[in-house]
Amino acid sequence: MTHAFHSLTLADIARHLDVPFDGNGRTPIRGLATLRDAGPDQVAFLANRAYLKDLADTRAGAVVLHPDHGHECPVPRLELDNPYLGYARLSGLFDPVPRRDQPGIHPAAVVADDARLGEGACVAANAVVESGVVLGSGVVIGPGSVVGADSVLGEGTRLHANVTVCHGVVIGRRVILQSGCVIGGDGFGFAHDGSGWHKIAQLGGVVLGDDVEVGSGSSIDRGALGDTLIGDDVKIDSQVQIAHNVRIGDHSALAGCVGIAGSTRVGRHCMLGGGVGLSGHLTLCDGVQVTGMSLVTNSIHAPGVYSSGTGAMENHQWRKNAVRFKQLDDMARRLTRLEKHRDGGSR
C-alpha cells in the first residue's frame, strides 16, 4: 500500500535526485510503488535484475533505474548508478509517519526536576525521564518510554513508543530507537559455585554513536566493566541481541535475529545476515560479510564473504546427508590410511 500525503512533480523528483529526466516535468507524482503495481502518478524503481521482467509492462509515471536498462524503459526514466539509493532518498519524501511532536513535556509524563531538556525536546505521554538525564535539542521521547538516570541523548534523537534506555547510557545524535528495544540492560554475567549461580554486577554502560538505528525488540547489554560500544551509522534490525562489552565498528549492519556473545569485536563496514551467531571474545576485521544463519566460532582476519550451515533441501535428502556428516571423521581417517598405503607401496 502506498500512502500519498502530498503531490510533487516529476521535475521535483528529478531535482531531489539531481539527475536529468525525459518526459513531462509537470506530471504529478503522489507516491512510490513497485514496477508491477505503480500507476501513472507513482515512481517505481529497478535495482534487482530479478524484476527486469516487469519493466516492459510498467505503468509508472517514471522509473528509477541504472543507465544500462534505460533503453528498455517504456516510460520516463531517472537514471542513477545506484537505483536503490535513489529509492531510499525518495522514500523520505512520501513517508507516512506522522510528525506531530509538540516541544515540551506532556502532562502525563514524569520528568525529574534536575533533568535538562534542550530546545525543542519533546517528552510524550507516560514517558519517564529520570534524574540527571540530558536531552539534546529536538530529542523526542515517545509514549511510555523510559530514560534512566544520568543518560545523555544527543540532538535529534528519537525514541519511539515503549523504548527503555537504562541508567548511564550515552546516545549520539540523530539516533532512532524503535519500539520495544532495550539499551543498557544487564549483561548475562553469572558465576557458578558448583551448586548454583551468583549474579555479577554489570558496572559498565553503553555508548551509541551518531546516526545509529536499533530495530524493535532488540537488546544491547551494558558492559560488565567497560562499555559496550556501537559506532557511528550502525544499523541494527529487529530481534537482535548484543551482549556485554561487544564493540561494533562504524557503518556496519546487522539483520534480524543476529546474536553476538560477550566481548566480541566487529569491524567497520561489516554486514551480518539474518540469524547469524557470533561466539564470544572473537574479532571480525573490517569489511567482513557473514551470510544468513551462519555460526562464527573463530576470529576472521581477512575481509570477504563467509558462510556456514546448509541451505534447505527435501527432508529425506537432508536426513541422508546428516548421516554422512556423522561419518566424515571415520571416512577421513580411512582416506588417510589409504593414501599412506598408496604412498608406501609406490616406493
Q: Please tell me the distance from the alpha carbon of residue 108 to that of residue 231, in angstroms, as a whole number.
A: 34
Question: What are the residue ranges of helices labelled H in the chain?
Answer: 10-17, 83-91, 315-345
- Number of Cβ atoms within 10 Å of the Cβ of 89: 16
Burial class, 137, CB count within 10 angstroms (exposed 0-12 / middle 13-18 / buried 19+) = middle
pLDDT, residue 99, reads: 65
Residue 1: predicted pLDDT: 40
Full pLDDT tens readout for the chain, 347 residues: 444 445 799 999 999 999 998 889 999 999 999 999 999 999 999 999 999 999 999 999 999 999 999 999 999 999 999 999 999 999 988 887 666 678 999 999 999 999 999 999 999 999 999 999 999 999 999 999 999 999 999 999 999 999 999 999 999 999 999 999 999 999 999 999 999 999 999 999 999 999 999 999 999 999 999 999 999 999 999 999 999 999 999 999 999 999 999 999 999 999 999 999 999 999 999 999 999 999 999 999 999 999 997 788 999 998 999 899 889 999 999 999 999 888 776 55
Q: Cell 561419518 belongs to which residue?
A: 327
CA quadruple 69, 73, 78, 79: dihedral, nearest 10: 10
For helices 10-17 and 83-91, the axis angle rounded to 10 degrees is 120
Query: Active-site residue numbers?
Result: 244
Sign of CA dihedral 233, 234, 235, 239: negative
Q: Which residues contact 20 (CB under 8 A, 6 or more apart)?
A: 14, 79
Domains of the chain (ranges; CATH) run: 8-94 (3.40.1390.10), 105-163 (no CATH), 181-309 (2.160.10.10)
98 phi and psi angles, rounded to 5 deg: -70, 145
Cβ 213 vs Cβ 230: under 8 Å: no
What is the per-residue DSSP string for 227-270?
-EEE-TT-EE-TT-EE-TT-EE-TT-EE-TT-EE-TT-EE-TT-
| Residue 77, SS3 per DSSP | strand
